[in-house]
Amino acid sequence: MKTMTLHEALRWASSFLEQRSLEQPVAEWLLRHYLQLDRAQLLMRLHDPVPDELITRLKQDLARHAEGIPVQHLIGYEEFYGRKFIVNSDVLIPRPETEELVQAVLGLKASRFADRPVTAADIGTGSGAIAVTLALEAPEIELYAVDLSEAALKIAERNAAGLGADVSFLRGDLLEPLLERGLKMDIVVSNPPYIPLADEQELAIHVKDHEPHLALFGGEDGLVLYRRMIGQLPAVVKAEAIIAFEVGIGQAEAVRDMLQHAFPKAETEIRRDINGKERIVLAYGKLH
């Protein structure tokens, strides 16, 4: 059998994915991972031969992906804010929209607190993507990251250690570990589970069967965890603070109303993501 070039392997793999209505960039991600190339390097080497054992591995991984395993679990990581975060079935795979939540927090922090030291908490940290990124982008923030899942915290701790981020990890339910320790925050950020239980059957198999349900579902209407967090927030945030939530489609107004009710003096705001969907809900300024 003739040895395939990179171009031929990509073309074959893209066709395999297209026939199954799967995302074609998966082929490129796998080959780049095997060969440890960035995109520019891959494009420069399209006429290079690909070792037969890598073609075998590509076929095996594509078959597993077609059965529902996320490509991130096959390669072991997802890129977030230009960094590689270890992921597995114990944590939610970080989404690009969540980078916009991080940007919103960094922007508000810069405008409201300048460079002074502040304390922040990431609630439901999962892989640690939000907390680790904030710690690396703004080292003057003292960061806490909370999760109920011990397995998720182990992944988050590995990511923090591997990327050199100074984050304190706490195990517990929502804001309870902060309340127990009497900790007060300048910033609270969270991307909690927000998918309504009724929507489970509509989820792609890669999500439904391979990502932790604890990190996906937010009760009957998807808002259960926001209600509980907002009930706890007045005892955790300082007089002037920032609260930043990622929300699901159609939830922004309800979450904003809850925040406005809990903090009548605060400014509240809804921001759209890169796809034009209402994705980020903010409350900031005087909270008490």
In a domain, 202, yes or no: yes
Question: Does 228 share its domain with 132?
Answer: yes
In a domain, 167, yes or no: yes
- What is the total count of domains within the chain? 2
Where is the domain boundary, 67, 98, 117?
A: 67
Question: Does 220 share its domain with 183?
Answer: yes
pTM value?
0.90
At residue 159, does pLDDT exceed 70?
yes
Which residues are part of a known binding site for S-adenosyl-L-methionine?
Answer: 124-128, 147, 191
Which residues are part of a known binding site for substrate?
Answer: 191-194
Structure confidence at residue 249 as a pLDDT band (50, 70, 90) = confident
Question: Does 174 share its domain with 240?
Answer: yes
Which residues are part of a known binding site?
Answer: 124-128, 147, 191-194
In a domain, 119, yes or no: yes
Partnered with residue 144 across adjacent β-strands are: 121, 168
Structure confidence at residue 42 as a pLDDT band (50, 70, 90) = very high
Which domain does 143 fall in, by range?
89-286
Question: Does 36 share its domain with 114?
Answer: no
Question: Does 27 share its domain with 99?
Answer: no
Question: Does 149 share its domain with 236?
Answer: yes
Structure confidence at residue 194 as a pLDDT band (50, 70, 90) = low
Task: List the one residue out of 190, 179, 102, 185 whose CA is nearest residue 143.
Answer: 185
DSSP per residue over 194-256, as a string? -B-GGGGGGS-HHHHTTS-GGGTB-SSSS-HHHHHHHHHGGGTEEEEEEEEEE--TT-HHHHH
Summarised one tens digit per residue, pLDDT across range 5-20 is 999 999 999 999 999 9
Summarised one tens digit per residue, pLDDT across range 101-136 is 999 999 999 999 987 889 999 999 999 999 999 999
Question: Does 109 share its domain with 246?
Answer: yes
Summarised one tens digit per residue, pLDDT across range 85-109 is 999 988 988 999 999 999 999 999 9
In a domain, 75, yes or no: no
Q: What is the CATH classification number for the domain harbouring 184?
A: 3.40.50.150
Q: What's the chain's length in residues?
A: 288
Q: Which two tokens stand for residue 216?
A: 């996906």
CB 94 within 8 A of CB 84: no
Question: Does 153 share its domain with 61?
Answer: no
DSSP per residue over 263-278, as a string? -TTSEEEEEE-TTS-E
DSSP 21: T
Please name the residues in contact with 218: beta carbons below 8 A apart, sequence gap of 6 or more: 192, 193, 194, 195, 196, 224, 225, 226, 248
At residue 280, does pLDDT exceed 80?
yes
